[in-house]
Amino acid sequence: MIDRHFICIDSFESEGRYCLVGEVYTAYKIDGGYKLVFENGEMNFTDNLFERTLKAWEGVLVEEGK
């Protein structure tokens, strides 16, 4: 798999990491999941948890090209 890119459509904070409206964030493919890098830190997810998290965040984070 390849790295994925997401556009923040509404600023939010999760576990002390900030996603700012209009910014593009990269989720790097790592062994067994993804590392999503925000303004002030990163979050690691398993493949399954990453997809579930994206569904929960669908109102604030949109994948580029979709």
Looking at the whole model, is its pTM more than 0.85? yes
* Calpha distance 19→53 (Å, rounded): 14
Owning domain of residue 16? 1-31
Please compute the mean of the pLDDT values over residues 19-45 and round it to a whole number: 97
Looking at residue 66, its pLDDT comes to 74
Report the share of the chain in percent with pLDDT over 70: 98
pLDDT value at 1 more than 90:
no
Domain membership of residue 48 (yes or no) is no
Please compute the mean of the pLDDT values over residues 31-54 and round it to a whole number: 97
Domain membership of residue 3 (yes or no) is yes
Long-range contacts of 46-53 (CB under 8 A, 24+ apart): none
How many structural domains does the chain have?
1
pLDDT value at 36 more than 90:
yes
pLDDT value at 56 more than 70:
yes
* Calpha distance 14→53 (Å, rounded): 11
